[in-house]
Amino acid sequence: MDKPSENPMTKLISLFAFLATTATLVACGSAIPHSPMLDSEPGAGAVLTRAPRTLRLYFEDLPDVDRSALRLVGPNGEHQLRGMHTMAADDLMIEILDPLTPGDYTVEWTTVIANDPTVYTGKFDFTVQERP
């Protein structure tokens, strides 16, 4: 009596599919320049019901404050930011001067990380929702 067994061809096809996916990921990974930003407040893609008053970006190592820049662009254009500083050994922090109204925001950042001459840039978005 034959037991139902897995078709070896199906196994082979899924193995090839896996390898192709892996190869694509590796290829894409090497094409995207490395980003030293690890985390942020607000987080990338965050949907907030309370408008943030500061931006804080966390990096792999100490950012050079003097050679770093942050921009915050929202539905009413660019927001005024004040007093960029570092709070710990790995972050940039800045105060948002004018209150954020509901809408989509983009943070654009430029930084130089300790002992690395590369100028890194990146951006991320967050959303401020109307308060219920």
Q: Which residues of this chain interact with Cu ion, rule CB under 5 A? A: 87, 93
**Shorter beta-carbon distance to Cu ion: residue 87 or 97:** 87
**Shorter beta-carbon distance to Cu ion: residue 86 or 127:** 86
Contact between 89 and 113 (Cβ < 8 Å) = no
**Shorter beta-carbon distance to Cu ion: residue 14 or 54:** 54
Q: How far is the CB of 55 from Cu ion (least distance, A)?
A: 10
Question: Quick check: bond before 4 cis, omega within 30?
Answer: no
By beta carbon distance, the residue nearest Cu ion is 93
Q: How far is the CB of 62 from Cu ion (least distance, A)?
A: 14
- Cα separation, 62 vs 73, in Å, equals 25
**Shorter beta-carbon distance to Cu ion: residue 91 or 124:** 91
Q: How far is the CB of 56 from Cu ion (least distance, A)?
A: 7
- Cα separation, 68 vs 86, in Å, equals 11
Dig out the tokens for 57 from the structure.
């970006």
Dig out the tokens for 88 from the structure.
């710990």
Q: How far is the CB of 10 from Cu ion (least distance, A)?
A: 56
Phi–psi pair at 72, nearest 5 degrees? -125, 115
